[in-house]
Amino acid sequence: MRIHDVAVIGAGPAGSATAAFLAERGVDVVLLERARFPRPKPCAEYLSPEATRVLDRLGLLSRIDAFGPARLTGMRIVGPGGASFTGRFAGSHGLRAYRDYGLALPREVLDALIAEAASERGARLRDGVVADLTAVADDHVDVTVGTGTTRELLRARLVIAADGLNSRVARRLKLSRRRSCRRVALATHASDVAAMTDVGEMHVASFGYVGIASIGHGVTNVAIVADLDRVTPLAPPERWFRKLLGGFAEVSRRMERARLVTPVRAVGPFGRWTTRATTDRIMLAGDAADFHDPFTGEGIYAALHGAELAAAHALSALERGRFGARDLAGYDRARTASFRGKWLFERLVSGAVALPAAFDRIASRVATRQHLADLMIGIAGDFVPVSRLFRPWNVMQLVI
């Protein structure tokens, strides 16, 4: 039976980009996706400025520009008590991202383009199939591929699981654990939202937050993240959406005349964290490797940059013919080195979101100190190191 070099499970940004980077180096890679493209994905659909670097490497920027995405020059943050600040990517800190703006466009378009890039480089994309890991043998991994009516066995020397939030592969291999804080999200597209500008917005309430941002063509993405106990899983998502939206005074006002142009889609709960991203013959990528609260909103950048790391380490394993957990552990170390600062920032922000009074106090301090606003938005935009925020003078201005 033929043994592929690599089977990638999941063709979201992480899986497709990893497959593209491997295929362009001549690797025999099969990319397995449950949905059929183009497919929607509940998400706030904003790409941090650094994500454009990886998309350019994939040769996709001109195609994305041709679609007409929104260009976001910064972010506005609004606390539960109304304190707010706006940080710009081209900020006072003098550091510059690959581009001075982030892009926002429907995942239906973006994900299909990245999957197409993988196919064009020679990856064999099979969408509409459910993949499942069945056995890890000495010299290969068995993956079952089901279409609903048929099941077949596929073999690969290495499997990269990029099967997203709550990854089945990570659970099966006991690489992920449940966490206590559990949240869900509801996302939709709306037209006629009042007073939209060229910045994305995050509005915080005591029970969660809502992100709103233009995604081009007069459409606004509206994504609410709320504690799991605030929603009734059996009620239609649109009903929870309208109820939760009422908790964000400014956004509800601006949406009085808005029309929802796509169904409200639910995702979650975000209830797991991953202990490591490798084991024998298996690597995890994207949300499967680690999922964080979307408030700082750069899961797509993490998926794309993580794909660069995954492909580099997979290539080296293929060249050496060594696929044991120890041989792949360099990938875990590379991920930690790349993402550690951002993970810390993300935890601090999530902690502040859970403490409304503290969040408002910080937001009102940052509102009068533009350099802090720009630093924070630059960290969230993946091009300012978190250490810049923790210089003693900045910390004093934040807390005293």
Judged by the rule CB under 6 A, the positions of this chain that interact with ligand FAD are 9-15, 32-35, 41-47, 130-132, 162-165, 168, 185, 187, 223, 225, 267, 286-288, 294, 297-301, 303
CB of 249 to ligand FAD, least distance (A): 21
**CB neighbourhood size of 344 (10 A):** 14
Name the β-bridge partners of 104.
46, 70
The smaller minimum CB distance to ligand FAD, of residues 58 and 300, is found at 300
| CA angle in degrees (0–180, nearest 5) for 82-367-209 | 40
Would you say 111 or 390 has its CB closer to ligand FAD? 111
Q: Least distance from C-beta 145 to ligand FAD, angstroms?
A: 8
Nearer to ligand FAD, 28 or 33 (CB): 33
User: Least distance in Å: CB of 165 to ligand FAD?
Assistant: 6
> Which of 283/326 has CB closer to ligand FAD?
283
Tokens (6 digits) for 344: 């810390």
Instruction: Tell me the C-alpha distance between 314 and 308, whole Å.
Output: 10
CA distance 354 to 350: 6
Closer residue to ligand FAD, CB minimum distance, 81 or 118: 118
Shortest distance, position 322 Cβ to ligand FAD, whole Å: 26
Q: How far is the CB of 392 from ligand FAD (least distance, A)?
A: 31
Smaller CB separation from ligand FAD, 43 or 373: 43
Q: Minimum Å distance from CB 371 to ligand FAD?
A: 25
Least Cβ distance, residue 47 to ligand FAD (angstroms): 6
Considering the complex, what minimum distance in angstroms separates the CB of residue 315 from ligand FAD? 19
Is the CB of 41 or the CB of 242 nearer to ligand FAD? 41
The amino acid sitting at 236 is P
State which residue, 53 or 168, has the beta carbon closest to ligand FAD.
168
